[in-house]
Amino acid sequence: MSLIEHLNQVRDFRTHSQYELWVIRLRVVMGMLSGCTSYRALEEFVTRRQKALLKLLELSYARLPSYSAICKAVERVSYASLTSAFPKSTRPIQLGGVARDG
């Protein structure tokens, strides 16, 4: 299962929306993996890469969701719904080894 399929499993709380919720959530995940630590940084990340992301994801939108759409989607997401989707998409971390130099 892909990350997008897992993000689609998270319940969409909105009744009227311009963008599919997975588009906003994927944008947040990609931004965070790129080092974004604020809503403004996420906005700048996508603004700089909007054309490439629209083409890569084969989206029919003219542009990606705005700063306010990101804020609303992140603040209103059901934590329980989100956390139930992600463990399915991640590998367990294997502990036990210690790296040493010298």
Give per-residue pLDDT as tens, 10-68: 777 777 777 788 888 888 888 888 998 888 898 898 888 888 888 888 888 888 878 88
* Tokens (6 digits) for 3: 């990350």
Instruction: For residue 74, give the nearest of 15, 13, 18, 17 by alpha carbon.
Output: 13
* Tokens (6 digits) for 84: 């139930």
State how far Cα 84 lies from the chain centre.
15
Give per-residue pLDDT as tens, 61-81: 888 878 888 888 777 777 777
